[in-house]
């Protein structure tokens, strides 16, 4: 019985291909049951091996329930780090924009903000004495002659932090009648000049604000390089608009007395660095020529 089954398994049969309409024989081949079984097993193994390679060496393995990407944890970690960095950047931008709004609309700062502003206004210099000796005057003349065209450093700002900071020019020739005083929240200087005097940009930059405000009247704000901002208030008219590029010395406004807190025709000039008010007289020599 066993031999009959084995002989039957080894016996050959002919597979014939016949045309369905004419019944004409188109071809054929001989094959045994054993050979047919071996071919089925071989192609099954090839199919299983190919499918396994696709699953283990391609992203198709992620479709299997319970099988996760081995790089998923690292990617999630990197995404969390980027999200934290973006959140910090957005927070800094929000603070920066709020400071710009306070500068333009002259909103009151909190005591903490005012203290920070006063603390960092002049990080690397000593307060100037109102009484100047002869030696001090001679030193000032010599120093200004040597450094007025120096583009690579400053005694007032740490050069290691921001190299090549802008060289500031006089916005308008006149007399300073009200000096910088952070304690009284007067974050600028008031300069009285000739009637209809032209106000010029103190450095190269982009006009980011050119509009009317209730307190400051016609106001222009310019963004300079290295996070410096200059603000010009109480103008009679404005010669530049938002988005315009200006060069140092370009006319931007005409001096006036607009705004509810103005006491007469003058320029209220402010200089800011990274959201903190600086004393303009430490960087610009205001004098009548």
CATH of the domain at 180: 2.70.70.10
- 7 forms beta bridges with none
**Could you say which of 15, 33, 63 is where a domain stops?**
63
Does 95 reside within a domain?
A: no
Considering only residues 203 and 32, tell me which one the structure prediction assigns the higher pLDDT: 203
Q: Is the pLDDT of residue 232 over 90?
A: yes
Confidence band, pLDDT 50/70/90 cuts, at residue 75: confident
153 vs 164: CA distance, rounded Å: 6
Token pair listed for 264: 């007469």
Tell me: the pLDDT tens digits for 22-70?
A: 878 777 777 777 787 888 899 999 999 988 887 777 766 666 665 666 5
Token reading at 193? 């000049």
pLDDT at 70: 57
**Nearest one of 174, 178, 201, 196 to 271, comparing CA atoms:** 201
CB 176 within 8 A of CB 189: yes
Please indicate, yes or no, whether residues 147 and 236 belong to a single structural domain of this protein: yes
The vertex-190 CA angle with 103 and 141, nearest 5°, equals 115
Q: Which residues of 83-96 are buried (b: 16+ CB within 10 A; e: fewer)?
A: eeeeeeeeeeeeee
* Residue 229 near residue 222 (C-beta atoms within 8 A): yes
Range of weakest confidence among 123-137, 190-204, 213-227: 123-137
Q: Give the chain's largest Cα–Cα span.
A: 132
Tell me the residue range of the domain where 10 lies.
2-63
Q: What percent of the chain has pLDDT over 70?
A: 69
Same domain, 28 and 132: no
- For residue 78, tell me if it sits in a domain: no
218-225 mean pLDDT: 92
How many domains in the chain?
2
Last residue of a domain, one of 15, 40, 63: 63
Does 151 lie in the same domain as 43? no
pLDDT of residue 250: 93
The verdict on residue 136 lying in a domain is yes
Q: Say if 180 falls within a structural domain.
A: yes
Are both 58 and 131 inside the same structural domain?
no
- The answer on 212 and 146 residing in a single domain is yes
């Amino acid at each position: 019985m066993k031999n009959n089954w084995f002989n039957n398994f080894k016996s050959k049969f002919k597979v014939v291909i016949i045309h369905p309409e004419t019944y004409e024989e188109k071809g054929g081949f001989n094959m045994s049951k054993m050979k047919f079984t071996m071919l089925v097993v071989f192609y099954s193994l090839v199919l299983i091996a190919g499918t396994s390679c696709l699953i283990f060496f391609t992203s198709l393995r992620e479709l299997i329930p319970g099988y996760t990407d081995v790089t998923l944890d690292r990617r999630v970690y990197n995404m969390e780090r980027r999200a934290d960095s973006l959140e910090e950047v957005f927070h800094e931008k929000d603070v920066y924009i709020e400071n710009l709004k306070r500068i333009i609309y002259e909103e009151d700062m909190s005591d903490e903000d005012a203290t920070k502003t006063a603390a960092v206004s002049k990080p690397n210099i000593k307060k100037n004495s109102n009484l100047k000796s002869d030696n001090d005057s001679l030193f000032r003349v010599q120093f200004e002659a040597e450094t007025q065209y120096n583009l690579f450093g400053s005694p007032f700002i740490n050069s290691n932090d921001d190299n090549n900071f802008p060289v500031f020019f006089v916005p308008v020739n006149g007399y300073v009648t009200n000096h910088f005083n952070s304690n009284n929240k007067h974050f600028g200087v008031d300069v009285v000049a000739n009637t209809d005097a032209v106000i010029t940009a103190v450095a190269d930059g982009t006009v980011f604000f050119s509009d009317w405000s209730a307190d400051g009247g016609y106001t222009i704000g310019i963004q300079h390089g290295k996070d410096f901002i200059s603000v010009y208030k109480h103008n009679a008219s404005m010669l530049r608009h938002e988005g315009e590029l200006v060069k140092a010395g370009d006319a931007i406004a005409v001096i006036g007395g607009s705004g509810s807190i103005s006491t007469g025709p003058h320029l209220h000039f402010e200089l800011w660095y990274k959201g903190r008010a600086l004393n303009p007289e430490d960087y610009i020599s205001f004098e009548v020529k």
